[in-house]
Amino acid sequence: MSNKKEILTAPFVIETIRTCSNMYRLGWDERNGGNISFMLEEKDVAEYLDVNKAIRQIEVKFDARELLGKIFIVTGTGKYFKNVEFDPAKNLGIIRITGDGAKADVLWGFSDGGRPTSELPAHLMSHIERLKIDPSHRVIMHTHSTNTLAMTYIHELSERAFTRTLWQMSTECIVVFPDGVGILPWMLCGNDEIGRATAKKMREFRLCVWAMHGIFGSGRDLDEAFGLIETVEKGATIYMNIGGRKILNTIKDGELKILAEAFGVNYRKDYLDI
């Protein structure tokens, strides 16, 4: 008889379920839109699963040798976020990068024979780049946050201009993402080209907006990645609610500088006109 704990009681499973449910209820992840990958500590997973026992093996369609042995909980391809809380074993999976880095062992989940998100290569590329910058990095999250997406249709798509506008929309924005927001023009999703382009942006930013599509965010845990995207979305919501009306008041560049320095964040000084 196994002395392992029940996997559905694992904090990392519970947190992933809650995050998926919140993203769906906010209207960010319609149908099977959006995906999450969360890198786990082997010792934590080992309390619930035999980390050396694979249910089956799958191809990851990417050379992930830099992540060899790493374990992730990942949302499934074609799965609806609204269903994750009702059948997590079908809609989520725990995988371990193995072999030559082009394969992964399924340790749990994907119970209907499913696979990880089709964006998995893009996630893995971004994980690699973020880990080089921050060894405590753990999460990549992609979602279709509504107002951020809408903003890309009517706002200049330069990173400086887009970031400045968001910073001016809410006092907390420059504090939460002082490194700014990366932006990609519209690109075909689900392939290595957009994955490589996103990973390149992740060398500079913790966030990358996919114009007319959504956003990629990163973090040290699910709360940080979710909160980062949530704060961008709040700024974009305020911008969209202004809706072309004449702006009488704003947070001036000098005030943004004071704010950033008061909170001790390393902001992009070249994004301000001071």
Catalytic residues, which ones? 119
Residue 198: Cβ within 10 Å count: 24
Measured at the CA of 67, the angle between CA 64 and CA 69, to 5 degrees, comes to 115
Q: Which two tokens stand for residue 244?
A: 């072309």
DSSP letters spanning the chain:
---PPPGGG-HHHHHHHHHHHHHHHTTSS-TT--EEEEEE-HHHHTTTS-TT--SEEEE-SS--GGGTT-EEEEEBTT--GGGTTT-HHHHEEEEEEETTTTEEEEEEE-TTS--B-TTHHHHHHHHHHHHHH-TT--EEEEE--HHHHHHHHHS---HHHHHHHHHHH-TTHHHH-TT--EEE----SSSHHHHHHHHHHTTT-SEEEETTTEEEEEESSHHHHHHHHHHHHHHHHHHHHHTTPPP-----HHHHHHHHHHTT----GGGS--
